[in-house]
A and B are shown apart, each in its own frame.
Chain A
Amino acid sequence: MQEGATGPGPAGGKTGGARRDNASFLGFARPKGRAGIRNALLVLGINGLIAPPARRIARALPGSKLVATPYGRGQLGPDKEVHFAQLVGLGAHPNVGATLVVGADRPTAEMVAEAIVARSGKQVAIVTLDDAHEDALALTERGIRLGGTLVRAISAERRRPVPVSDLFIGIECGHSDATSGLVSNPLAGAVADRLVDRGGTAVVGETLEWLGAEHVLARRAAEASIGEAIVEAVVRREKAVAALGVDLLYNNPGYENVRGGLSSIEEKSLGAIAKAGSRPIRSVLPFAAEPQGSGLHVMDGPGFSPESLTGFAAAGAQLMLFTTGPGNSFCSLVAPTIKISAHPDATRALAEQVDFDASAVLLARATIEDAADELFDHLVDVASGTATWGEIFAEGEECLFRSGGSF
């Protein structure tokens, strides 16, 4: 092993030679929709009652991914809709070669499986507690056999060149510091611009991060109605928070922010939203909804990064860019997540967790544009199969958002 080996990131003194054209990546073609950048079996537990058997099935099938919701009964209205939108979106995800739906009752499992097939055209198998005469061990055994058959079938898939325009990335930030707004977020934004300019798709979420900059985002909307929808989404959440007695604009930025150099809420929000880049905003997506068309989109969603990432994944994002200051280990399960930090201490201390070291920009050895070229190369490499640290150490998880409690 090479001691102190450096990972991707603009090296000091390195000057740009011939750039890669990054016109394509090696991906798995799917019957419908975007190509996959991975090809795993998803074991999808759709009801909390059978989460333990779903877990046993996934454990018996190395290389498979597990999403097992703890919920699934007593849900109504928008909460039920968003729950199923996430399960179906994850089941239909491009990086999933085939899905084994594990359910309690047969009709619900069939409904979810049919929705996954309608969206993705992929192989889906079903096992339910109903079919196993309420025997959870029999359910486990049946699931392992069926799942194994699916793994064998998808192992025949091969990577082929796919236009880079087929890529859809989610951009997230978590545990930010002064380096985030200064370097990492503008860097992620510059990569989003590169992808959008090549016909690709990008999404940012966390509606309340737009607060204070929503008028700026609205001006960047491709149509006036989209701009209005951006402002309305922020106002709706601001009011919901105000109803709980919290004024989000009162003395914001706070004392710590001001001491760090932030002078206004506009500046703070622009630092967060810099990760979206500068291209026109094509739509405001409901949480977990698939974008209709390429380009930059914003998703009206919660401000907790695990939930936000699951919303992007359910929408079909194959890959995530995740900026952080001091570090943040959380990754999407189905979408490889590239961790980016510009903090020299963090990139040194977390060398096997931060995928892209952007500290050269902070140390005046590279510009954001230099670093964006390097990061775009790395993104295409990860799309073609290069592992992220999060994949290597299994830091991935999906966190299902609920808009209400069970009745």
Chain B
Amino acid sequence: MSGSDRPDASLAWEAMAINAADNVAVALCDIEGDVHVRIGDAVRVIHVAAPIPMGHKFATRDLTAGEPVLKYGECIGITTAPVAAGEHVHVHNLESRRARRKAG
């Protein structure tokens, strides 16, 4: 990251939304800072405040609690808390509508 705030200056973008309708993007490498995100035909810069590992997701816009999270253009679960743009979206703030979890 020398001389750049970008996670990997060799990449044209470090994250991508699989479907242009998605409200989360997936990290293509470990990311933190100002991340270039490919969404459809555009590349946007989104600030990622805390580190996110490769393959994990973050919000591409602010989400309210109880909002459907869209990946592949489809709902993969519901937010359980408000999520700011650039914030990690995972099991701590996303709930499946299908799975049965072990209690506790």
Q: Which residues of A contact B (CB under 8 A)?
A: 178, 182, 186, 212-213, 216, 247, 249-252, 258, 260-261, 263-267, 270-271, 274, 278, 362-365, 367-368
A-B pairs with beta carbons under 8 Å apart, 6 shown: A212-B99, A251-B99, A251-B101, A266-B76, A266-B96, A362-B28
A274 CA / B11 CA spacing, docked (Å): 25
A363 CA / B8 CA spacing, docked (Å): 11
- Contact partner, B55, options A216, A247, A261, Cβ 8 Å: A261
- Contact partner, B71, options A247, A250, A270, A363, Cβ 8 Å: A270
Contacts of A278 on B, CB cut-off 8 Å? 73
- Give the one of B74, B90, B97 with max A CB within 10 A: B74
Q: Are A364 and B73 in contact (CB under 8 A)?
A: no
Given A261-B55, A264-B76, decide whether A249 and B100 contact each other with a Cβ distance below 8 A: yes
A250 CA / B99 CA spacing, docked (Å): 7
Closest-CB distance, A376 to chain B (whole angstroms): 19
Q: Are A213 and B55 in contact (CB under 8 A)?
A: no
Contacts of A213 on B, CB cut-off 8 Å? 74
Closest-CB distance, B32 to chain A (whole angstroms): 15
Contacts of A362 on B, CB cut-off 8 Å? 28
Question: Closest residue to A212 on the B side, CB-wise?
Answer: B98
B59 at the interface (CB under 8 A from A): no
Contacts of B90 on A, CB cut-off 8 Å? 258, 261, 263
Closest-CB distance, A130 to chain B (whole angstroms): 55
Q: Are A264 and B96 in contact (CB under 8 A)?
A: yes
Q: Are A261 and B72 in contact (CB under 8 A)?
A: no
Q: Are B57 and A261 in contact (CB under 8 A)?
A: yes
Q: Are B91 and A263 in contact (CB under 8 A)?
A: yes
Q: Which residues of B contact A (CB under 8 A)?
A: 11-14, 16, 18, 26-28, 38, 53-57, 69, 71-77, 89-91, 94-102
Q: Are A249 and B26 in contact (CB under 8 A)?
A: no
Nearest 4 interchain pairs by C-beta: A264-B96, A261-B56, A261-B55, A267-B76
Contacts of B11 on A, CB cut-off 8 Å? 363-364
Closest-CB distance, B75 to chain A (whole angstroms): 7
Contacts of A258 on B, CB cut-off 8 Å? 90-91
Q: Are A265 and B55 in contact (CB under 8 A)?
A: no
Q: Are A249 and B72 in contact (CB under 8 A)?
A: no
Question: Closest residue to B56 on the A side, CB-wise?
Answer: A261
Contacts of B89 on A, CB cut-off 8 Å? 263
Closest-CB distance, A395 to chain B (whole angstroms): 29
Contacts of A265 on B, CB cut-off 8 Å? 96, 98-99
Contacts of A212 on B, CB cut-off 8 Å? 96, 98-99
Q: Are B100 and A250 in contact (CB under 8 A)?
A: yes
Closest-CB distance, B101 to chain A (whole angstroms): 7
Contacts of B12 on A, CB cut-off 8 Å? 364-365
Question: Closest residue to A363 on the B side, CB-wise?
Answer: B11
- Contact partner, A264, options B16, B38, B77, Cβ 8 Å: B77
Contacts of A250 on B, CB cut-off 8 Å? 99-100, 102
Given A263-B76, A266-B96, A362-B28, 9 other A-B residues pairs in contact with their CB atoms under 8 A: A216-B74, A251-B99, A261-B53, A263-B90, A264-B77, A264-B94, A265-B98, A267-B71, A364-B38
A53 CA / B28 CA spacing, docked (Å): 53
A216 CA / B98 CA spacing, docked (Å): 12
Q: Are B74 and A266 in contact (CB under 8 A)?
A: yes
Q: Are A274 and B55 in contact (CB under 8 A)?
A: no
A273 CA / B102 CA spacing, docked (Å): 26
A229 CA / B10 CA spacing, docked (Å): 48
Q: Are B55 and A266 in contact (CB under 8 A)?
A: no
A252 CA / B72 CA spacing, docked (Å): 19
Q: Are B99 and A249 in contact (CB under 8 A)?
A: yes
Question: Closest residue to B57 on the A side, CB-wise?
Answer: A261
Question: Closest residue to A365 on the B side, CB-wise?
Answer: B12
A249 CA / B74 CA spacing, docked (Å): 19
- Contact partner, A368, options B18, B77, B100, Cβ 8 Å: B18
Question: Closest residue to A368 on the B side, CB-wise?
Answer: B18
Closest-CB distance, B10 to chain A (whole angstroms): 9
Q: Are A182 and B94 in contact (CB under 8 A)?
A: no
- Contact partner, A182, options B18, B97, B98, B100, Cβ 8 Å: B18
- Contact partner, A267, options B27, B77, B100, Cβ 8 Å: B77
